Structure 1
């Protein structure tokens, strides 16, 4: 039987591993800056997430090692009769742990957090260039219901 991961809020000490996870695919490799010294931009973002009660940066652990991460954001809104929605972002599983049920456990955990909070909807986006991720999310019950659009702004 496979061991199930445990979930907890990320700490500042987790940042090097989280950034490595975010960079560990062709899309992330071109936009992230992993390393032992974490650039200040990640530290500022981490502090902002921690200070926001509607945001949770979460890690999944096996035997004390970080093997996955995701960000869960709760968004208030008027739609769905004023129902709150949960947004799942930045889902990553360590390359050496993929295919072992960790991603499914992470998403199931996030959906349960949203359900316990009374959210009316759980949403996520994934890049069209990740067909395996699209199949994975559909297998878990997510439906491609909308066309997502992004407008990238120049960075510092």
Structure 2
């Protein structure tokens, strides 16, 4: 499966990928490094070595409960997100998937790529029979908060001490969205 979503920019596309060639892997690592340095490192506070990033992305592609989505601008990979499905033994939460590891490199923001990543993850989750989709983020990530709330996600909780950034605890927000009319 190689699902794609067009965005409002004519030179931008979002797609689900099953594999990455060496150039795409290099672009994804570059985009991740830029996002990490900008403070949107999907958990990383400092950019790890290129070897660590390459291993991370290769590992994501091998994990059966994860789908990797990439955002392209002018053909180059500039961001990504993942759809995380619950493991088979978690029958009680089998209705719910999660968007995770979500970022757009700073120079590629403002083209609708972030909205496209969310929309494609929702479409894939819905097509997979999931009834709900969740995501979480640091309370300090105002652009991500506006994006999630604008896409219909409802904040259901706050976690104090969600992250420790530069020696300071930061709260986190948890969001959910129903994928079916109830």
| TM norm structure 2 | 0.67
Residue 27 of structure 1 deviates from its aligned partner by 5.2
Q: What does residue 23 of structure 1 align with? A: 36
Contact 1:125 1:148 survives alignment (8 Å)? no
- Of 53, 56, 62, the residue aligned with 2:73 is 62
Q: Which protein is richer in helix relative to its size?
A: 1
| Alignment partners' CA distance in 1, 2:76 and 2:163 | 35
| Alignment partners' CA distance in 2, 1:96 and 1:143 | 28
Bigger mean CA deviation after superposition, 70-79 or 8-17: 8-17
| 2:50 pairs with 1:38 | yes
Q: What does residue 98 of structure 1 align with? A: 109
Q: 1:69 to 1:11 in 2, by over 3 A?
A: same
Q: Residues 26-67 of structure 1, C-alpha deviation per residue, up to 9 Å, x if partnerless?
A: 353972326xx613x334433432222111232111332112
Q: What does residue 51 of structure 1 align with? A: 62
| Alignment partners' CA distance in 1, 2:115 and 2:134 | 15
| Alignment partners' CA distance in 2, 1:44 and 1:105 | 26
Residue 87 of structure 1 deviates from its aligned partner by 1.1
| 2:84 pairs with 1:73 | yes
Q: Which protein is richer in strand relative to its size?
A: 2
| Alignment partners' CA distance in 2, 1:125 and 1:106 | 15
Where structure 1 has 5 or more consecutive residues not aligned to the other structure, the ranges are: none
Where structure 2 has 5 or more consecutive residues not aligned to the other structure, the ranges are: 1-7, 165-182
Aligned residues: 147
| Alignment partners' CA distance in 1, 2:163 and 2:150 | 29
Q: Residues 93-112 of structure 1, C-alpha deviation per residue, up to 9 Å, x if partnerless?
A: 12222122111111101100
| TM norm structure 1 | 0.77
